[in-house]
Amino acid sequence: MSAEGVKTEEEKAAEARRGPGSRAGQRHGPMAGVGVPAEKSQNFVPSAKRLLGLLRPERTKLYAVLALAVASVALNAVGPKILGRATDLIFAGVIGKSVGGQVPAGTTAEQLAQGLRARGQDQLADMVAKMDHLVPGQGIDFGAVGQVLLWVLAIYVVASLLSWAMGWILTGAVNRTIFTLRRDVEDKLNRLPLPYFDNQPRGELLSRVTNDIDNVAQSMQQTLSQMLNSLLTVVAMVAMMIYISPLLALIALVTIPITMFVTAAIGKRSQKHFIQQWKSTGELNSIVEETFTGHQLVKVFGRQDEVRGAFKAKNDDLFNAGFGAQFISGIIMPTMMFIGNLNYVIVAVVGGLRVANGSMSLGDVQAFIQYSRQFTQPLTQVASMANLLQSGVASAERVFEVLDAPEQEPEAASPVRLEDPHGRVEFEDVSFSYSPDKPLIEHLDLTVEPGQTVAIVGPTGAGKTTLVNLIMRFYELNGGRITLDGVDITDLSRHDLRSEIGMVLQDTWLFGGTIRENIAYGNPDATDEQVLEAAQATYVDRFVHSLPDGYDTKLDAEGGNISAGEKQLITIARAFLSDPALLILDEATSSVDTRTELLVQQAMSALRQDRTSFVIAHRLSTIRDADVILVMRDGSIVEQGSHEELLARDGAYAELYKAQFRGAAVDVDTGEAPAPEMATAGS
């Protein structure tokens, strides 16, 4: 199954808002980081510090990394200088042979220089005078050259080994840190209160725990090693250049501000295009998404021309923005090369002049050219790293926000243990609301005897789901208490409380795994026979047999390969298997066709035997066997009693009942709407 198949719409929307750059795995290539619009962090310095703080357990490793980096950069830096000596030796041999060849053997370099000066070749004389290894008449000293080269080779080999070791250790440190961060975030998810999940778009949270952590990992990995290497290299190169020739160093260093300036200027311009590109991409993506998702509507409503027009406009926008972004960011490399070349020419010319007048050796010029070529590249890298770092820190900030969110109420200090609960549930003066300004349930009292089936009916928003969620202790009460067998549920551990309750929820959540695994979720210790038994009791077995892989059929994350009704049957089987003392069914059968529902109901009533059950449904047929029916409206229970009692009372329940069976037909025929009081509270 493809990765994008399991993304929810919300996530995709979050991604589109953020731009595709926030997706993992799109930052390969040498231009990585350049021109990526950095998301601004709120508090860069504290967040960056905290991010670094995550590495604390790896501190010894990091010291080792630092030491190795310094050593390898230093070795790499002295290489060209020593190599320059080899060039000098060769040059001396050349001059010694060509110039010195014209004088008798045994003449010293000094005598040769004097001779040259006497002939008026002052410049050549200066140069010769400065040459250390010049022996007139003698060619290249291969012994000496060989020795120098062997040294250099050894230095380079060691430098590479050190740099490799550094990378190795750093990778370990970073990955262990990210492992811990991920684990902590996942731990945290289990301790966050449910309102935290309700109060923000699901896609947003998902994006934080997936994309943002990926982004932190990537930028940590890349910035740490490259930043370190680049910065050290720049320092080492500059030091070597100053050591060789302060004058040339000064000329070369002038290019630093130029480089910075040019990169910043181009970066700034390309940033605009990149932001535009991200925006256009997002807009285009949502047109594509909508058109493809609402494909049949677009066709049947004859909107294809309009959609095509909108697509074309956005596609052209994206073309312009993408072209601009790619071009302007593509300029950076050639421009840097040009500045490098400029530098090279100046150094070559000035260096050549200085060699000619003897104030510098050819080897040094050669070494210097190498240094000056090598230090522009890390400089650009540092600049592009800055962007990456910023986006990494911004992501880290969003992850920290999750880690810092307030957690659910701590467990009771010494939780009471319920032995073999009977399932007597009591609400005592319970008040609850999701937000302080909108009171929902107020001063609710309710007593449910063990083994009773309670049906809760009422329009959407009446608080039916909330009522059962409170029994699960998904939310904390604002007042009053709920007891199970006389024990306040907050005195029980959540684990114990919830272990006693089986729940079939409105949204049929299944995870990516086989049907068998999904049923066994209700009781991981269940044997295959028990799973089969639960499946048979809830009619899962029937449709499983028609699937090619039977119980081993893999469900994808959204459960797209079986029907909604079948999904619901699996969640019922799951609750069945968990064998709870208390049962909560929330719209449990709304997507099952009515005949299957009948079968499930039979299974359910067997399941409800000796268990206290709460059943929520719009369909009155589902709940007519209930011992007690609660009619809820606006957070309170307006009627309570058995089906017959409530019908006899001819109140709100009777109203609802009529709407379903008699009322519908009658009202349509007469063209009259039914009494509005029940209906206006509807969704």
Partner 1 sequence: MLIRILREYLRPYRGLIVLLVLLQLVGTIASLYLPSLNGRIIDQGVALGDTGYIMRTGGWMLAISFVQIVATIAATYLGAKAAAGLGRDLRASIFARVGDFSAQEVSRFGAPTLISRNTNDVTQVQTVTFMGAAMMVSAPIMMVGGIIMALREDVGLSWLVAVAVPLLALSVALVIRKMIPQFRLMQESVDWVNRVLREQITGIRVVRAFVREEREEARFAEANTQYTGTALAVGRLMAMVFPIVMLIFNASTVAVLWFGAHRVESGQMQIGELTAFMSYLMQILMSVMMATFMSMMIPRATVSAGRIGEVLDTESTVVEPTAPVALPSTEDAVTLDHVEFTYPGADVPVLQDVSLEALPGRTTAIIGSTGAGKSTLLSLIPRLYDVTGGAVRIGGVDVREAALEDVWDRIGLVPQKPYLFTGTVASNLRYGDANATDEDLWEALRIAQAEDFVRAMPDGLDSPIAQGGTNVSGGQRQRLAIARALVANPEIYLFDDSFSALDLSTDARLRAALRPVTRNATVIVVAQRVSTIVDADQIIVLDDGKVVGTGTHDQLLETCPTYVEIVESQRSAEEAA
Residue 38 DSSP symbol: P
Residues within window 324-353 making contact with partner 1, judged by CB under 8 A: 324, 326-327, 330-331, 333-335, 337-338, 341-342, 344-346, 348-349, 352-353
If the CB atoms of residues 194 and 239 are measured against partner 1, the closer one turns out to be 194
Inter-residue contact 348 to 229 (CB < 8 Å): no
Tell me phi and psi for residue 105, to 5 degrees: -60, 150
Report 399-418 residues binding partner 1 (CB under 8 A). none
Contacts of residue 448, defined as CB under 8 A and 6 or more positions apart, other chains included, come to 423, 424, 425, 426, 454, 612, 614, 628
Determine the Cα–Cα distance for residues 162 and 232; give it in Å rounded to an integer. 14
Taking CB under 8 A as the rule, does residue 309 contact partner 1? no
Q: Are 20 and 278 within 8 A, CB to CB?
A: yes
Residue among 52 and 298 whose Cβ is closer to partner 1: 298
Q: What are 464's two structure tokens?
A: 């039916």
345: left (phi over 0), alpha (psi -120 to 50) or beta: alpha
Q: Judged by CB under 8 A, does residue 138 bind partner 1?
A: no
User: x/- contact string, 632-651, with partner 1 (CB under 8 A)?
Assistant: -----------x--------
Count, in order, helices (H) and strands (E) of the chain: 24, 12
580: nearest Cα among 638, 534, 624: 534
Q: How far is the CB of 667 from partner 1 (least distance, A)?
A: 5
CB of 90 to partner 1, least distance (A): 5
Rg (alpha carbons) of the chain, rounded to whole number: 39
| Closer residue to partner 1 in complex, CB, 239/346 | 346
Output the smallest distance, CB 637 to partner 1, in A: 18
Q: How far apart (Å, rounded) are the C-alpha atoms in residues 177 and 56?
A: 9
* Residues from 500 through 529 that contact partner 1 (CB under 8 A): 501-503, 505, 509, 511-512, 521-522, 524
At 595, phi and psi to the nearest 5? -75, -40
Query: How far apart (Å, rounded) are the C-alpha atoms in residues 214 and 25?
Result: 9
Chain residues 649-668 in contact with partner 1, contact rule CB under 8 A: 655-656, 659-661, 663-665, 667-668
Any long-range contacts for 238-246 (C-beta under 8 Å, 24+ apart)?
238/375, 239/77, 240/77, 240/78, 240/80, 240/81, 240/367, 240/371, 241/368, 241/371, 241/372, 241/375, 243/81, 244/81, 244/360, 244/364, 244/367, 244/368, 244/371, 245/351, 245/354, 245/360, 245/364, 245/368
- Minimum Å gap between C-beta 43 and partner 1 is 26
Instruction: Provide, rounded to whole angstroms, the least separation between the CB of residue 36 and partner 1.
Output: 13
Asked whether position 606 contacts partner 1 by CB under 8 A, the answer is no
- Residue 454's alpha-carbon distances to 335, 449, 642, in angstroms, are 76, 10, 9
Q: Choose, by CB under 8 A, the member of 67, 254, 598, 606 that binds partner 1.
A: 598
Contact 600, 537 (CB under 8 A): no
Core vs surface per residue 375-388: b (16+ CB within 10 A) or e: bbbbbbbbbbbebb
Residue where the block lists tokens 């008699």: 662
Q: Does 322 bind partner 1 (CB under 8 A)?
A: yes
Q: In the range 206-225, which residues lie near partner 1 by CB under 8 A?
A: 206, 209-210, 214, 217, 221, 225
255 binds partner 1 (CB under 8 A): no
DSSP alpha helices (H): ranges in 507-589?
Answer: 515-520, 528-537, 540-544, 564-578
Which position among 93, 115, 378, 463 is part of the footprint of partner 1 (CB under 8 A)? 93
HEC assignment per residue over 595-642: HHHHHHHHHHHHHHCCCEEEEECCCHHHCCCCCEEEEEECCEEEEEEC
Using rule CB under 8 A, residue 530 touches partner 1:
no
Under the criterion CB under 8 A, does residue 237 sit at the interface with partner 1? Answer: no
**Residue choice 70, 71, 189, 446 for contact with partner 1 (CB under 8 A):** 189
Is residue 6 a contact residue for partner 1 (CB under 8 A)? yes
Q: Report in angstroms the alpha-carbon separations of 29 from 22, 384, 392.
A: 16, 13, 18
Give the span between the Cα atoms of 139 and 105, in whole angstroms.
Answer: 12
**C-beta of 189 vs 235, nearer to partner 1:** 189
Minimum separation from the CB atom of position 297 to partner 1 (A): 6
Residue 8 in the binding site for partner 1 (CB under 8 A) = yes
**Site mask for partner 1 (CB under 8 A), range 257-296, x = bound:** ------------------------x--xxx-xxxxxxxxx
Q: Is 111 in the site for partner 1 (CB under 8 A)?
A: no
Query: Given the complex with partner 1, which of 442 and 667 has the nearer CB atom?
Result: 667
Figure out which of the listed residues 22, 41, 87, 263 binds partner 1, where binding follows CB under 8 A.
87
Identified binder of partner 1 from the candidate list 561, 594, 605, 609, rule CB under 8 A: 594
Total residues at interface with partner 1 (CB under 8 A):
193
Sole binder of partner 1 in the list 547, 557, 638, 654 (CB under 8 A): 557
Span from 35-43, 56-64, 92-100, 256-264 in contact with partner 1 (CB under 8 A): 92-100
Site for partner 1 in 156-175 (CB under 8 A): 156-157, 159-161, 163-164, 166-168, 170-172, 174-175
State in angstroms the smallest separation of the CB of 104 from partner 1: 21
Which single residue is written with the structure tokens 């492992």?
179
Do the Cβ atoms of 651 and 658 come closer than 8 Å?
A: no
x/- site string to partner 1, residues 470 to 499, per CB under 8 A?
--x-x-------------------xx--xx
CA 669 – CA 674 distance, rounded (Å): 12
Which stretch in 48-56, 104-112, 188-196, 430-438 sits in contact with partner 1 by CB under 8 A?
188-196
Interface characters, 15-54, with partner 1 (x: CB under 8 A): -----x---xx--xxx------------------------
Beta strands of 242-308 (E only): which ranges?
none
Residue 664 C-beta: closest distance to partner 1, Å? 4
Residue closer to partner 1 by CB (options 7, 424) is 7
Q: Which range, of 11-19, 244-252, 423-431, 627-635, touches partner 1 by CB under 8 A?
A: 11-19
Judged by CB under 8 A, which of 40, 49, 59, 183 binds partner 1?
A: 183
Supply angle C-alpha 80, 84, 87, rounded to 5: 135
Rounded Cα–Cα distance for residues 366 and 248 (Å): 12
